[in-house]
Amino acid sequence: MEPIRRVAMISLHTSPLDQPGTGDAGGMNVYVLELAKRLAHQGVAVDVFTRATASRLPQLVDPYDGVRVHHVHAGPFEGLTKVELPGQLCTFAREVLRAEAAHPLGYYDLVHSHYWLSGQVGALARDRWGVPLVHSMHTMAKVKNDALADGDVPEPAARVIGEEQVVEAADVLVANTDLEARQLIDLYGAEPRRVQVVHPGVDLDVFRPYDKAAARTALGLSRDAAVLLFAGRIQPLKAPDVLLRAVAVLLRRLPALRGRLVVPIVGGPSGSGLDRPESLAALAAELGICDVVRFVPPVSQAELAQWYAAATLVAVPSYNESFGLVAIEAQATGTPVVAAAVGGLTTAVRHGHSGLLVDGHGAERWADALVRVLLDDELRLSLEAGALEQARAFSWEMTARRTLEVYEHARFALHEGAA
């Protein structure tokens, strides 16, 4: 069998070129772009198909050698939510098939779709092109609905049905962790032999140890500040409110800490958080902690690494994460993480070694964990060293190599099924 030369990646609802932390852009955007880059480094050309969200976007963009992003016109450029996107699947799929038809037969060796909407298009392309479909869920409706955040809305039945269809159609399903693999099997009836675990990575050139004092000076923070950082999209699922409520408890217990406490919230409203974009600021005012909370718009990866390095700890209180790239990125800078003991965060963070995992989302329990890291210097130094060690176990190069193995497995599975 010839080696894989070219892969069509489908990321319909969000472009890998979008700024993470805005709109629907987040960890999946980073995943798609970084994986595509690393596959290209290993000699596999990658075409990423995503829906155009602005008329000014060029039809084709080549952000890196071997990586091409296709901005597909499907529906109005702005104003469509993920709930409305299924209505554009046919148009998007038609344009993807048309792009492939302009090339010689057998142009793509494989389709890799990301998120269930893309999987619907990927299934059609698989059958039309006669190539295997590899699918990454990233998040799953049944998992999200089982752990719904306060004030959030459940994922619709149409998404659940769509995910079940994609699970049935894919030759291989990529899970971020062993837990996600088990959820695919138990909740969606996936055949175990078609589920492969591939951990996401981290760019260890960008997210690396920095001098903490220098990072704080660059960001306008005091060198002796106690910095509790949240980074990510502001929406109920990510639970930044949990951190704010815990900070209010923390200040009631330790009022002397107020003078040097800083709580940066780095990111923008997203998803259901767009319905009440000012709600987190209103909560800070209600809790009486506006003086310690700092809202920072989404920043570049390089500046985000600086924020991580400047932090005393990074809080990841999400109700669910398929993996939790923020946790790995933060640890790669040598900053410990306090995270909810949910989903992929239990893989990303080693409790007591690189950070602390918190059961539940109660403010008192979260305040307990924050206090431990803030006040126990010996523990914090140990966690900082453990964070660096933990992050070194994850890299995009390893992710790409493992993904290529999965691609070969998918090709074998397709040919075996056709025999």
Is 329 part of any known ligand binding site? yes
- Dist CA 167 CA 172 (whole Å): 9
Q: Which residues are paired to 49 by β-bridges?
A: 10, 70
Is 29 part of any known ligand binding site? yes
Is 27 part of any known ligand binding site? yes
Is 22 part of any known ligand binding site? no
User: Pairing relation of β-strands 60-64 and 67-72?
Assistant: antiparallel
- Dist CA 294 CA 315 (whole Å): 15
Is 14 part of any known ligand binding site? no
Is 25 part of any known ligand binding site? yes
Is 417 part of any known ligand binding site? no
Residues 6+ apart with CB under 8 A from 351: 341, 357
Is 20 part of any known ligand binding site? yes
Is 13 part of any known ligand binding site? yes
Is 321 part of any known ligand binding site? yes
Is 308 part of any known ligand binding site? yes
Alpha carbons within 13 angstroms on the beta-carbon side of residue 331 total 34
Residues 6+ apart with CB under 8 A from 225: 216, 260, 261, 262, 312
Phi/psi for 218 (5° steps) reads -65, -30
Q: Which two tokens stand for residue 357?
A: 């995992």
- Dist CA 124 CA 133 (whole Å): 9
Is 114 part of any known ligand binding site? no
Is 159 part of any known ligand binding site? yes
Is 238 part of any known ligand binding site? yes
Is 28 part of any known ligand binding site? yes
Distances (CA, A) of 220 to 95, 215, 322: 48, 9, 33
Is 196 part of any known ligand binding site? no
Is 19 part of any known ligand binding site? yes
Is 82 part of any known ligand binding site? yes
Binding residues for UDP-N-acetyl-alpha-D-glucosamine: 19-20, 27, 233, 238, 299, 321, 329
Binding residues: 13, 19-20, 24-29, 82, 115, 139, 159, 233, 238, 299, 308, 311, 321, 329, 335
Binding residues for Mg(2+): 308, 311, 335
Binding residues for 1D-myo-inositol 3-phosphate: 13, 24-29, 82, 115, 139, 159
